[in-house]
Amino acid sequence: MSAEAHYTPYHPRWYRRRVSVWWWLQNRAYAGFVLRELTSVFVAFFAGVTLWQLRTLAQGPDAYARFLACLGTPLFVALHAVAFLFVLFHSITWFNLAPKAVVVRLSGKRVPDWVVVGLNYAAWLVLSGAVALIVLRGR
Amino acid sequence: MQPAVTLRVTRYRPEQESEPTLATYEVPYRKDWVVLDALNYIKDTLDGSLSFRWSCRMGVCGSCGMKVNGSPKLTCASFLSDSLPGPIRVEPLDYFPVVRDLVVDMSDFMRKLKKVKPWIIRHDERPLAEGEYLQTPDQLDAYKQFSMCINCMLCYSACPIYGLEPSFIGPAAIALAQRYNMDSRDEGAPERLEILSEHDGIWQCTFVGECTKVCPKHVDPAGAIQQYKLTGAIHWLKSLLLPRGAR
Ligand code: SF4
Ligand code: FES
C-alpha cells in the first residue's frame, strides 16, 4: 500500500455488519469472559459486607449482634453461597491468567507459566490458612 | 473416503446486492487440500467471479485470513479434513468492512500499525563504521515471539472489543509495539507508551483473550497487552510518587 493510499471511513459500497448485543453468546469463550466480568459485582458485594461489618463493630456490641443476626437470615446465607461461587470463579480464572501479565525472567530465561500460577495458588493457601488460624484460635 | 465436500461461502457483490448472500459449492475432497485450495478450485472451475486474497499458501504472508466455520483462520492452514463431513462455512473476517465476497478492507489496521511506530527508534544512530548492534540470544528471546506476527488480522476478527469500539488500536498493533519495546536496540518505549496509554490504547482491552487463541503464529497479543498494562501502571505510579529526576 502506498503512503498516499486514502482511507475512506464510510465507503458507500463496503458492507459493514453491526455487532449484535448478543455477541457474547456467540461462543463459550465470550460467554465465559462476560461471566468473569460479572463476578466483579459479587466481589464488590463481599467488600460492602465487610465494610458494613467494620461499621457495626465500631458502633458497639449491640449493633454488631444485630449485624450477625442479619447474616444468619436465609436470604443472606443464600446470597453468600451464590457470591462465594462467583468469587471462586473470579479467583481461579484470574490466577490462571496471571502468567499472561506477569512475565518473570530469571537470568534471561522466562519462568514457566505454571510456576507463576502455582505461586498465586500458594499465596492463596497460605493467606487462607493464616486467616483460618486467627479465626479458629479466637474461639 | 468422502468424495466431495460442500462449501458455504459468503458472497457480496456491491454492484448487484446491498447485503451479503450465501453461495453453496461442491468441491472434490482431497486429504491434502486446505480451504484455500477449495476456494481456488471454485474460482478455477465453478465460478471465476469469487474474490478472495491469498499469496504464499504457507502461513507466511498473512493475506488469506477468513472465518472458517465461525472462527478466524488462515485458510491456507485449515485442512478440509479437519472440518468433515461439512458443509464448511467460509466468511470474510469480522469487524472489517467487506469490499467484495471474502475481501475485507484493512486500511484501518494499517493506519493503527503505523501509529505505534513499529520500527527501531534511536536517540543517536551509531555510525555505520562502528558495525552492527549486537544482541545476545537472551535479548533476542525477549521479543522474538512478538516479532512472529504476519499481520493477518485474525486477532482483530476475534476481538469483540474491536467490534464494539472500532477506535481500539487492537491486539496485533500493541503486540508489535511491544516487539520493539523489548528490543535491546530500541529506545522508543516512552514514545510508544504515550500513544498506547491514550484512550484507544491498552486500557480498552478487557482481556477476553481470544486474540491469543486464534493467532496462527503464537504471538500471544493478549499477553503483550497485559504486560504493557503492567508497565503502564508502574510508570504512572512512579510519575505520581517519584520526583522528576528519579523516574
Ligand atoms: S498477532 Fe497473530 S493473529 Fe494477530 S495479526 Fe499477528 S499473526 Fe495474525
Ligand atoms: S496464503 Fe499466505 S498466509 Fe495463507
pLDDT tens string, chain B, 247 residues long: the values are: 678 999 999 999 988 888 999 999 999 999 999 999 999 999 999 999 999 999 999 999 999 999 999 999 999 999 999 998 889 999 999 999 999 999 999 999 999 999 999 999 999 888 999 999 999 998 999 999 999 999 999 999 999 999 999 999 999 999 999 999 999 999 999 999 999 988 899 999 999 999 999 999 999 999 999 999 988 899 888 888 887 666 5
DSSP B79: B
Q: In the 3-class helix/strand/coil scheme, how is B155-177 assigned residue by residue?
A: HHHCCHHHHHCCCCCCHHHHHHH
The SS3 assignment for B47 reads coil
Structural domain total, chain B: 2
Q: Which of A4, A19, A28, A113 to mutate to test the interface with B (most CBs of B within 10 A)?
A: A19
Residues B111 and B219 in one domain: yes
Domain-terminating residue out of B69, B89, B104: B104
Residues of A in contact with B138 (CB under 8 A): 108-109
Domain-terminating residue out of B104, B123, B151: B104
pLDDT of residue B15: 86
Provide the CATH number for the domain around residue B207: 1.10.1060.10
Residues B163 and B100 in one domain: no
DSSP string, A42-99: HHHHHHHHHHHHHHHHHH-HHHHHHHHHHHTSHHHHHHHHHHHHHHHHHHHHHHHHHH
Give the three cell numbers for residue A94: 484470574
Residue for grid cell 495458588 = A121
Rounded to the nearest angstrom, the minimum Cα separation between A74 and chain B is 35
Q: What is the number of CB-based contacts under 8 A between chain A and chain B?
A: 77
The pLDDT of residue A4 is above 70: no
Complex ipTM value: 0.75
The pLDDT of residue A5 is above 80: no
Count of C-beta atoms within a 10 Å radius of residue B126: 11
The pLDDT of residue A2 is above 80: no
Domains and CATH numbers, chain A: 1-89 (1.20.1300.10), 102-139 (no CATH)
Provide the CATH number for the domain around residue B98: 3.10.20.30
**For chain B, what is the largest distance between any 2 Cα atoms, rounded to a whole number of angstroms?**
73
Residues B130 and B217 in one domain: yes
The pLDDT of residue A1 is above 50: no
Which of these, B101, B82, B104, lies nearest to B90 by C-alpha position?
B101
Residues of B in contact with A102 (CB under 8 A): 227, 230
Residues B81 and B122 in one domain: no
